[in-house]
A and B are shown apart, each in its own frame.
Chain A
Amino acid sequence: NAGVMQNPRHLVRRRGQEARLRCSPMKGHSHVYWYRQLPEEGLKFMVYLQKENIIDESGMPKERFSAEFPKEGPSILRIQQVVRGDSAAYFCASSPPGQEGLHEQYFGPGTRLTVT
């Protein structure tokens, strides 16, 4: 069973461009979480999605950031008009249905976004 897949692993964008980060959860997992890790900081929760639904987006910046988890295909974290402050490592995690009480999440290797 393959783990959580994220691509690309490294992404370089110029200021003002769009960044699209992809996450394929583990097989059988229907819950996806996105976290951001700024340099020298811990991981910060951004958004929690189930198939076709955003459940909790309390950690998402109000502008320029969006996330989706369609019925088919990977989850996408989209950052429009990137700025240098968006440079960070973005981690995706997944969990199977019915695991909400245990909160055990399986993490991908992350996408390191650099904005020049």
Chain B
Amino acid sequence: GNSVTQMEGPVTLSEEAFLTINCTYTATGYPSLFWYVQYPGEGLQLLLKATKADDKGSNKGFEATYRKETTSFHLEKGSVQVSDSAVYFCALSVQTGANNLFFGTGTRLTVIP
């Protein structure tokens, strides 16, 4: 089936620290991969995406590379800020007619000054 396994949180980092949130997946077809972010009291926002193997998605200093050989899509940022505090969700969709997203459980990140 289709599923996403995400690094458990919560994660607490000091400002300017390096961030990695691990995400691995299983998929019945060829998936597209996404990272969504949810700030307190708000809906999910698309952070970045990758639609084929070896693609790198990037946005706001965050990056993730689609690794088919390891079925992974780890999120990284070189220097986090307090404003990055949020919940991060890894997700996939399979391009075989289904339209729904499969989500991981989310990782709560807190960045302290």
Contact = CB atoms under 8 A, between A and B. Distances in A.
Interface of A: 3-4, 6, 31, 33, 35, 40-45, 48, 55-56, 59, 91, 93, 100-110
17 contacts: A33-B101, A35-B103, A41-B105, A43-B103, A44-B103, A45-B100, A45-B101, A56-B98, A56-B100, A91-B43, A93-B44, A102-B51, A103-B32, A103-B95, A103-B101, A107-B44, A109-B42
Contacts of B99: 31, 33, 48, 55-56, 100, 103
Given A43-B89, A108-B43, A109-B41, A33 B36 contact: no
B43 A107 contact: yes
B33 to A, nearest CB: 10
Nearest to B32: A103
B72 interface: no
Contact of A48 (B49, B100, B106): B100
B93 interface: yes
Contacts of A100: 99
Interface of B: 4, 6, 32, 34, 36, 41-46, 49, 51, 89, 93, 95, 98-106
A27 to B, nearest CB: 16
Given A43-B44, A107-B44, 15 more contacts: A6-B43, A33-B100, A35-B103, A40-B105, A42-B89, A45-B102, A56-B99, A56-B100, A103-B32, A103-B34, A104-B46, A105-B46, A107-B43, A109-B41, A109-B42
Given A40-B105, A45-B102, A109 B93 contact: no
The 9 lowest CB-CB distance pairs between A and B, nearest first, are A45-B100, A103-B93, A42-B103, A107-B43, A107-B44, A42-B105, A43-B103, A109-B43, A108-B43
Nearest to A48: B99
Contacts of A43: 44, 89, 101, 103
Contact of B100 (A59, A101, A107, A108): A59
A86 B36 CA distance: 24
A42 B4 contact: yes
Indicate the member of A4, A43, A93, A107 with the most B CB atoms within 10 Å. A43
